[in-house]
Amino acid sequence: MTMQTATFGAGCFWCLEAAMNQLSAVQQALSGYMGGHTANPDYQSICTGRTGHAEVVQLQFDDAAISYEQLCLIFFSLHDPTQLNRQGNDIGTQYRSVIFYHNDLQQQQATAIIRQLSAEQLYPAPIVTEVSPAARFFVAEDYHQGYFLQHPQQGYCQVLIAPKLAKFRQLYQSLLK
């Protein structure tokens, strides 16, 4: 088993974390913050939109069981990569679509996938996903970890996350735990 790290931002981290933690090749998916200029950010500061950090999910995955390219494609299927600094009603740079790469190969693969998806014109508008070098990862507060599992009846979870997870489970059944 060869463990690798991947970091993605796709709007609110609750949905992405819930989906990625269901993949059998993912040992751990943690919600957190990356890409800003504020030292030791917390949820309160992130919500101001002035820290430069994005809400992200950092994965530890077995690259013999799932490829980085597959993870990128899953990432793109879980959000709208054409919305700049927002996902639905969540607005601000903290909700931007971003791939933080951890090595040159990840950068090459991420940009190649964006070129491929753009060429296939799968989206009605241009993909605005940022591809940036990984920076320091700040783990989000404990109450954000496994949020959907802890609060499935919460309104945001029922209206936004549950339908995405249902679609996710249908599309990626063979990769689930």
Which residues are known catalytic residues?
12
- 66: its two tokens: 């799932």
Q: How many residues does the chain have?
A: 177
User: Rounded distance, CA 103 to CA 112, Å?
Assistant: 14
- 62: its two tokens: 């077995």
Q: Report the DSSP pairing between strands 130-133 and 97-101.
A: parallel
8 close to 55: Cβ distance less than 8 angstroms? no
Please list the residues that pair with 139 across neighbouring strands: 32
